Structure 1
C-alpha cells in the first residue's frame, strides 16, 4: 500500500545494525515516554513523578509527543518542555517539516486499520502541521532529532526506538507480532543486530512487555498521554532503573537488581478532557477517533500487556 497514512517512507528506515553504532548515554534511571500526544496534564504528572525519584533521572521522549496540541500556546509548551530533555523523532514530528508531504501522518497503519481512521489521522496531522508552520524555531530543533537512541543503565544496553528495530514507523513491536511464534526468530535477530538487552518503543499505541529470549526484553509503553487499558484514564511510561523506584509498577521484569517496568502516569483526566474538547469538539476528527478512549480507555487489558 502506498497511500498517505499507510506508507512507511524509505527515509524512515535505518536497520537494527545502526542502533549498535549509536552513541551510548549512561543513565541511573531512564524514563522512556512515548506517545505524549500533546497532553499537557500528562506532562505535569510526569514531572511530578520524576521529582519523586531519589536519584537523577534521564528522560527520553521517543516520539509522538505532539498530536492534539494544535493551538499555538500548547504546541510551544509541549515542545519547549520535551526539547529540554533527550528526544527522538516520532512519525508525527517527522512529518511536520515543510518538505514532508508524501506520507500523511506517517503512521504506516496496517491493512487492519479502517480507511476512515487513516483519513482522520491524516487530517489531524494536517491541522497540527499548520500550527507547526508558525513555529520555525521549534521545527528547526525537531528537524535534527535522531530516529533512535542508545543507553546503558547499569549493565543493561537499551535501544530506544519509536516504531521497531528497523524503521521509525515499523509495527514489529506491536503486541500481535510479539506474541506470534512465527515472529520470534525475527525479534531475536533484531536484538543481536542492535547489540541490546532491551528495546523500548511506543508507536503502536498499545502497551506490552515480554521477555523475547533469556536476558532480552521488549517493552512498549503504548501511550503516555492516553489511557491504555479498559475502564482506566491514565497513561503508561517505561522506567528502566538500576534499582527499584518509588512508584508501584503496573507490571515489569527484573534483570539482576535492575528493573524494566511500566508505570502508570496518573494525570488530571478531567482537566485534560476539557483541554482536548477546546480544540477537538464533538464531530471533529480527533473526537471521532479518540474521545471514547480518552473517556473510557480502549478494549485492551493490563493482563494482555503484562509479561506472562
Structure 2
C-alpha cells in the first residue's frame, strides 16, 4: 500500500512523538531571558527567515530565538533547504513533525507509516493529507544524510522562564509533538478546555508556546477551582511564521514574550501577564517576492501549489480579532 492510499499516513500520531505533561514540571532547560522570540511554521520561507533574524537582532538585553518546529516545508530546492537549516540551527530549535519525518528512515516505521507526521484531524480533506505526504517525500530528496542527522538530534520540547512566567515550548501540544490540542478549533470547546486544565496541573507551567496547527490563537484558561491559587493559564500559538495568518494580511507571525512592551505597527495583538508582555508580531515580507520564490519551487500543478498558494495570496479565512480569547 502506498502513502497516497494509506488512510493512516498523515493522520496517525506515532508513539515516539509522545511525552507526558509532567516532563515540563522541571527547572528550565535554558537560561532565563528578557526577550524570547518563538517562531513556528517557518515552512522554508527564506524571505521570512531573513526578516525575522533582522528583527531579532534589533532586540536588547538577554535574548533568545526559538524555532519550534516545521521550519522546513516549501524549501524543496537543496540550496534553499541548506540556507534555511543553517540560519535556523544558529539559534535554538525544536523539531516539528516535518523535521522528525525528514530525519526518519523509511524502513523505521514497522507498522503504519505516519507520512508527513502531521496527525491531521478529521476536518482536513483527504486530498490535502495525500499532498502533504508527497511534499514530505520530495523534501527528503532535497536534504543530505548529514542534514537529516542534525534534525534528528533536536529536542521535542523545552522549558524556559521569562521573568516570573514559567513557559513550556512545544511544536504541537502538551502530550505530542504533532498534537492538535492547542488548535484554535479545539479551543472553542469548553470540554476540551477542561482537559487542558488537567495538562497545566501536571505540567506546572503558566503558559505553553506552540505552533503546528497553522492558525494563531492566544487562549486564556481559568485556573482549576480546586487549585490553591486558581491563576489563569495561557496558550500562545503563533500560527505560521512563513505564511499569512489572516485574511488580507500577507505577514507571518511570531510570538514575542518579554519584560518590555513591543512598540510598533508590527504588533498584531497581545496580552500582559503581570510584568510580562506577550505579543503576536508580524513578519513582513514583500508578498510578490515571496510568491515568486514559492512558484520557482512549487509551480501550478504541484502539490504545495494546490494546498497552499491560495492562502499565500489571500490569507486564510481568519481575522485577528478571532485570535485572542479570554475564558472568564
Q: Shared fold (TM-score greater than 0.5)?
A: yes
Report if aligned partners of 1:210, 1:307 keep a CA contact under 8 Å in 2: yes
Gaps in structure 1 of 5+ consecutive residues? none
Aligned-pair CA distance for 1:237? 0.4
Q: Render the CA deviation track for 1:55-88: whole Å, top value 9, x for unaligned.
A: 3420000000000001111000000011111100
TM-score by length of 1: 0.96
Q: TM-score, normalised by structure 2?
A: 0.90
Alignment of 1:261 onto 2:279: yes
The 3-state SS of whatever aligns with 1:307 is strand
Counterparts of 1:10 and 1:68, CA distance in 2: 26
Matched, 1:225 2:230: no
Q: Retained in 1: the 8 A contact 2:34–2:259?
A: yes
The structural deviation recorded for 1:19 is 2.0
2:320 to 296, 302, 306: 302
Pairing partner for 1:70 from 64, 76, 89: 76
Match of 1:80 in 2: 86
1:237 corresponds to which of 254, 261, 273: 254
Aligned pair partner of 2:15 in 10, 18, 34: 10
Is it true that 1:106 corresponds to 2:111 in the alignment?
A: no
| Aligned counterpart for 1:45 among listed residues 19, 31, 51 | 51
Match runs of 1:167-246 below 5 Å: 167-213=176-222, 214-246=231-263
Matches of 2:78 and 2:163, distance apart in 1: 40
How many Å separate the matches in 1 of 2:174 and 2:104?
Answer: 27
Is 2:67 aligned against 1:61?
yes
Larger radius of gyration: 2
Distance 2:214 2:250 in 1: 14
Q: Which moved more, 1:62-71 or 1:215-224?
A: 215-224
Deviations 1:207-258 (A, max 9, x none): 0001112331111000000000011101010000012134442111111121
Gapped runs of 5+ residues in structure 2?
1-5, 223-230
Which segment is superposed worse, 244-253 or 282-291?
244-253
Question: Would you say the 8 A contact 2:28–2:161 is kept in 1?
Answer: no
- Structure 2 residue matching 1:259: 3-state secondary structure: strand
